[in-house]
Amino acid sequence: MIRKTALALIPACALLAAPALAQDTTIQPGYWEVTNKVSAIVSQTKTEKRCITPAEVAKFVMGPSNRHYKCDYPTRVFRDGKISLKGQCATKNGSKAALQATGTYSPTTFTMIADISTVYAGLPLSARATTTAKRISETCPAQQAAS
């Protein structure tokens, strides 16, 4: 049970990034290949290709939000191609994890390494999550752009 709850926070924090308002110079829309790797009690890597529309750029850079967790970043800097984040994520059941991340970005690349730590049932748990992404095309395949 300890691992399951703690591990639920780790992928949630893996893709977390970014500024309250994405800058115009973060990443460009298009067809992207995104790899997320989590190194923890159980490690996993997932690669997907996805269409990022102009309307989705800020959401991608800011990281996903879903019904499982909420994150706040008192330190949130995206400037001159460098990323710096420091904050905390919490699940609905109250589990919390501290997150500190650094990385780089350009119009066609994105890399972030996040160190995540939490205490569950008195046990300290930690993980490292890495997100790398590269734009592989200016345009999305027809079926991706429509979804």
Indicate whether 76 pLDDT > 50. yes
Q: Which residues pair with 44 in a beta bridge?
A: 38
Taking the mean position of all CA atoms in its chain, how far away is CA 64? 7
Residue 136 has pLDDT above 80, yes or no: yes
Strand order in the sheet with 44-52: 44-52, 30-39, 123-137, 109-120, 96-106, 82-91, 69-79
pLDDT at 51 over 50: yes
Give the pLDDT of residue 146: 53
Mean pLDDT of 106-124: 91
pLDDT for residue 91: 81
Q: Model confidence at 108, in pLDDT bands (50, 70, 90)?
A: very high
Residue 130 has pLDDT above 70, yes or no: yes
Q: Summarize pLDDT for 4-18 with one digit per residue, the tens.
A: 444 444 444 444 443
Helices (H) and strands (E) counted in the chain, each on its own, are 3, 7
The per-residue pLDDT for 66 is: 57
Q: Which residues partner with 95 through β-bridges?
A: none
Res 11: pLDDT: 46
Question: How many angstroms separate the CA atoms of 138 and 73, rounded?
Answer: 31
Mean of pLDDT values over 112-128 = 89
pLDDT class of 45 with cuts at 50, 70, 90: very high
Tokens 């490690």 -> residue? 43
> What would the mean pLDDT of 31-46 be, rounded to a whole number?
93
CA distances from 116 to 46, 63, 144 (A): 18, 15, 32
Residue 145's pLDDT band, with cuts at 50, 70 and 90, is low
Residue 21, pLDDT > 70, answer: no
CA distances from 135 to 21, 26, 31, 52 (A): 21, 12, 6, 9
Q: What's the chain's Rg over C-alpha atoms?
A: 15
Two structure tokens written together for 76: 């949130």
